[in-house]
Structure 1
Amino acid sequence: MDDDAVPFPDHLTIRVTHTDDPVSAVAGLEAWESRGRYPNLLMMPPVFGALERTPEGAWRILGFHNTTPQTARDDLGHTFRCWANSEPGGRWEAPWDITDEERAAYTAAYERLEWEKLDELTVAGRQYRIFRAEQVLRGGPDGVEPPRPTDPDPAPVGQGHRAPSRVDGYVIDPAAAVTLVDGIVRLDLMSLVPTGRFITEEVRADARLASAQYPNVLVLPVHCAVAEQRDGRWGPMTGACETPQAARDSLAAYLREFAPMLNPGLDEEELAAYAEAADRLDASRANTVEAAGRRFQLVRVEPVVRLGPDGPELPRASDLDPDPPIRVQEERERAAGWVPEDDEED
């Protein structure tokens, strides 16, 4: 055997290790059982975020859960603006002792992002990029998979939005070792291609190209969404929520406040049914609830990032990205007469 064989590059490798951690063991057992109980892989629209390259060559998440590439660029520009104008001890203090030269570089960077659609840029020697992640759900004869018992859910009722983010600051490192079950799950996800009658050939072609250019995958910390059953099929009702409780809180707020506003024809009995369902959801911390003939469920969402030799996948040409950068949009609105000239300074 040749001991000097060249090792596989990180983006083509899944490193498997053994762990004696009992929590990881239970989570692995749940994942394996879920793979059999919910064998079908379903896909929601992708989400986008921003990354910073670490000195070790991995990528750290700066922001996530954006619905379009442009909103991710806007968030990255906002981060740069905060760093450029940060003060020691302030709310938006830069995460290092920023110099005046670096402040100028980040000022120039956020000004560029206000005019240009940039998915990759280098600022003061640091690399940044916009990335995409598929949102994968698992389905089977029992329906769509709900949150698992081992999924973190630390916040009390009504405080789901206050739980610390598990994805901000997360390091995307394809070289990190995973358990055997996690490795098998990653293999399952490698060939993902969107299907369905509303999926265009352009979207499918982009997905097949991405499978070749970014052959490896990594699953980020899971999040949740709320789905509603209509005509025997489950459809998304909310976007990503960091934790199951954040999703329950969003659903309870809908039942109490937004359903009555969006459905002015509801009678007193139906309004009472919505309010009672919200109270029941708060009391039980359940994953399903019914109200006035409607059925809602929390669903478990796995964000899947594709990895290639240059790092995580960038936005695709077929991704929905309708909005221009903010300054371009302002110019268009002003040219159309939508923004009074007196408001230019504001």
Structure 2
Amino acid sequence: MDDDVVPIPDHLTIRVTHTDDPVSAVAGLEAWESRERYPDLLMMPPVFGSLERTPEGAWRILCFHAGTPQGARDDLGHVFRCWAHGEPGGRWAAPWDITDAERAAYTAAYERLEWEKLDELAVAGRQYRVFRAEQVLRGGPEGVEPPRPTDPDPAPVGRGHRAPSRVDGFVIDPAAAVSLVDGIVRLDLMTLVPSGRSITEEVREDARLASARHPNVFVLPAHCAVAERRDGRWGPMTGACETPQAARDTLAAYLREFAPMTDPGLGEEELAAYAAAADRLDALRANTVEAAGRRFQLVRVEPVVRLGPDGPERPRPSDPDPDPPIMAQAARDRAVGLVPDDERD
């Protein structure tokens, strides 16, 4: 009767396994406790990136954390340009022995991306895609979840943005086995749909369609953002930061440098309070800080990718994507007379 068993496709499967790794066990315990302490799932705007399909059929991340689909296309075009023109063995060289024919193919590909909004490309026998990920936070009676003790945070103060990326090169493989806790968390996230007064019906409908077309989810390594408490609610203040220290450094730079520039009406006491708060962040590597009546907190963000039979989800029609490709933008500017002074006759 085994011949009658129909295999379940990878995009409909969550494979659960047991591990004796003590670090994974602690991380699993934290995840379960977080699920109990912060039961509410909250959402920030999506982020975008680019992928390369592996020979095994999984998808490898090339770039991530773009704020719009066009930002991800621009990043992918930059990768292609580097592969086409990078010095052999140099920092921007292709990760294989690229041939002259492949260089020509990647040159043609990045030139297309400078003119066209392409979310799917085949180049030199390889498949590439622009993808989207929801940014999910957890909340509860205690507020919004901060970074967890097991979240990697290796960089020293002031060098958070120099920590190695945890997602560049990460492989999205729906067939990979996960722990029981991670499997339960993925089940929690499968039916997630944006809600709130600011969410349009178009966004909700796209989310419902995405749930049907891409029924499984994959959770990428967590990143951080800075939130501010306003009118009794937490709201995002920054975009994605790879590590907690990168988020602290971003907040410290705002308190020391950008707040005085963006609000010239600040008095000496407020400026001193901002500078003191930045010093506390550096000294304590804190997750929360208050300054001049304002309260800031680092929040833990889980990027969630939807998976369907053709792989990770591409950008949705309702995703904001206002910018044209760079050469199309330049051509449009010239057509209406918006060209740099040194290009005028």
TM-score when normalising by structure 2: 0.98
Partners of 1:231 and 1:256 lie apart in 2 by 24
Question: How far 1:3 moved relative to its partner?
Answer: 5.8
Q: 2:161 is matched with which residue?
A: 161
Partners of 1:31 and 1:341 lie apart in 2 by 56
Q: What are the within-5 Å matches in structure 2 for residues 223-302 of structure 1?
A: 223-302=223-302
Root-mean-square deviation over aligned CA pairs = 1.1
Q: Aligned with 1:112: secondary structure? A: helix
Partners of 2:108 and 2:233 lie apart in 1 by 49
TM-score when normalising by structure 1: 0.98
Question: How far 1:2 moved relative to its partner?
Answer: 3.0
2:213 matched to 1:213? yes
Q: 1:322 is matched with which residue?
A: 322
Q: Aligned pair in 2 of structure 1 residues 29, 328: CA closer, same or farther (>3 Å)?
A: same
**Unpaired segments ≥5 residues, structure 1:** none
Aligned residue pairs: how many?
A: 344
Partners of 2:182 and 2:3 lie apart in 1 by 28
Partners of 1:77 and 1:271 lie apart in 2 by 42
Question: How far 1:198 moved relative to its partner?
Answer: 0.6
Write out per-residue CA displacement over residues 189-232 of structure 1, whole angstroms, 9 at most, x where no aligned residue.
Answer: 00010000010000000000000000000000000000000111
Contact 1:334 1:341 in 2 (8 A): no
Q: Aligned with 2:2: secondary structure? A: coil
Q: Aligned pair in 2 of structure 1 residues 41, 79: CA closer, same or farther (>3 Å)?
A: same
Specify the code of the residue in structure 2 equivalent to 1:300.
R
Partners of 1:335 and 1:144 lie apart in 2 by 48
Q: 1:118 is matched with which residue?
A: 118
Question: How far 1:341 moved relative to its partner?
Answer: 8.6
Q: Aligned pair in 2 of structure 1 residues 229, 340: CA closer, same or farther (>3 Å)?
A: closer
Partners of 1:341 and 1:53 lie apart in 2 by 43
Partners of 2:108 and 2:65 lie apart in 1 by 25
Q: Aligned pair in 2 of structure 1 residues 215, 294: CA closer, same or farther (>3 Å)?
A: same
Question: How far 1:90 moved relative to its partner?
Answer: 2.1
Question: How far 1:89 moved relative to its partner?
Answer: 2.5
* Percent of aligned positions that are identical: 86
Contact 1:135 1:301 in 2 (8 A): yes
Q: Aligned pair in 2 of structure 1 residues 30, 340: CA closer, same or farther (>3 Å)?
A: closer
Partners of 2:3 and 2:331 lie apart in 1 by 62
Partners of 1:199 and 1:317 lie apart in 2 by 14
Q: 2:7 is matched with which residue?
A: 7
Partners of 1:142 and 1:340 lie apart in 2 by 52
Q: 2:35 is matched with which residue?
A: 35
Contact 1:334 1:340 in 2 (8 A): no
Partners of 2:97 and 2:24 lie apart in 1 by 37
Partners of 2:110 and 2:260 lie apart in 1 by 41
Question: How far 1:91 moved relative to its partner?
Answer: 2.4
Q: Aligned with 2:265: secondary structure? A: coil
Q: Aligned pair in 2 of structure 1 residues 88, 199: CA closer, same or farther (>3 Å)?
A: same
**Could you list the runs of 4 or more consecutive aligned residues of structure 1 that deviate by over 4 angstroms after TM superposition?**
none
Write out per-residue CA displacement over residues 263-290 of structure 1, whole angstroms, 9 at most, x where no aligned residue.
Answer: 1111111111111110011010110000
Q: Aligned with 2:165: secondary structure? A: coil
Q: What are the within-5 Å matches in structure 2 for residues 59-208 of structure 1?
A: 59-208=59-208
